[in-house]
Structure 1
Amino acid sequence: MTTMTRRSSNPLSEMLTWLDTEAPVGLPGLGLLALVRMEDYVEDGTYVLRAELPGIDPDDDLDISVDGDVLTLSGERHEEQRDRNRHEMHYGSFSRSVRLPRHARAEDIAATYTAGVLEVRVPIDGPTEQPQKIAVRKTED
């Protein structure tokens, strides 16, 4: 007779927790802590970048910089010490960089932070270039 047992948590979640918090010295999370989920698009002549950054104070924990045509978001999410049953939130330093579109006016960047989402808006002078589709010609062997 087979008895089914139910796991109290997700094994993948347990593995990621081990990688982030209990990995041997020299393997600090294998880069998993620095994940910042983002989306970007062009809207009415403005490049818009949105990043999920819940649990930070943008005045103290966030730095936005531009070096040439690269926009970088960096900062730190601070952990509150609590007795937990589950630990899936990521804390510590983070950094993400994106290349700005051609003709972006970095000097006119505006950023807002609302409900855990950072929105960075960069005006663009001139037309935005769309990717060019290249036709592939099929040949017979």
Structure 2
Amino acid sequence: MDNLFGRGGLEVPEPVRRFLQGQSDSSLRVEQYQEGNTLVVRVELPGIDPETDVDISIADDRLHIDARRYEDDDRVGKIGYRTEFHYGERSRSIPLPRGVDQDGIVATYEDGILEIRIQVPEQSEPQSTRIRVVRTGGREAT
């Protein structure tokens, strides 16, 4: 698609070009694992200011991450401007185990990676309960 735009001399606005090239995914890419009683969620967020461009919250047993990355207006107007960077708003919701202590959450940002560490309660062995099915109606088993 880049070749088509370049050879034809077409001036296509960046958001349209990104859409046509399949870059319209608005979710964040995450890596998730557990270390003991700590759930670790890592999010790829290069080129942002973590203090102003990210909102993290917990509601309904879900971790919500909203991030924004904006293009530099000074560069956008330059001759020959082209970018493959992802800009705009992105979000992700991740289910959490019940009973997460919201005071035990720490978020850090280093080298373009947002890392969120969440203390999760110890999980007891899953319990199963057999539910008896009772036949109703007029048909009898033979």
**Same fold by TM-score, threshold 0.5 exceeded?**
yes
1:21 aligns with 2:53: no
> Are 2:32 and 1:40 equivalent residues in the alignment?
yes
TM-score where L is the length of structure 2: 0.66
TM-score (norm. length: structure 1): 0.67
Counterpart-to-counterpart distance in 2, 1:129 and 1:74: 34
The one-letter amino acid paired with 2:115 is E
CA deviation map 1:86-122 (0-9, x unaligned): 3211111111110012332223111000011000000
Counterparts of 1:1-141 in structure 2 under 5 Å? 9=2, 21-22=15-16, 32-81=24-73, 82=75, 83=78, 84-127=80-123
User: SS of the residue aligned with 2:85?
Assistant: coil
53-62 vs 119-128, which moves further: 119-128
The alignment covers a number of residue pairs equal to 114
- Percent identity between the aligned chains? 39
Q: Over alpha carbons, which structure has the higher Rg?
A: 2
Kept in 2, the 8 Å contact 1:102–1:128? The answer is no
Q: Deviations over 1:1-38 (max 9, x none)?
A: xxxxxx9x577xxxxxx796227xxx8x9882523211
Which runs of 5 or more structure 2 residues have no equivalent in the other structure? 5-11, 127-142
What value does the CA root-mean-square deviation take over the aligned residues? 3.2
Structure 2 CA distance for partners of 1:118 and 1:128, relative to 1, 3 Å:
farther
> What is the CA distance between 1:45 and its match in structure 2?
1.0
Structure 1 residue 76, shift from structure 2 partner: 0.9
Please give the alpha-carbon distance, in whole angstroms, between the structure 1 residues aligned to 2:124 and 2:31.
Answer: 17
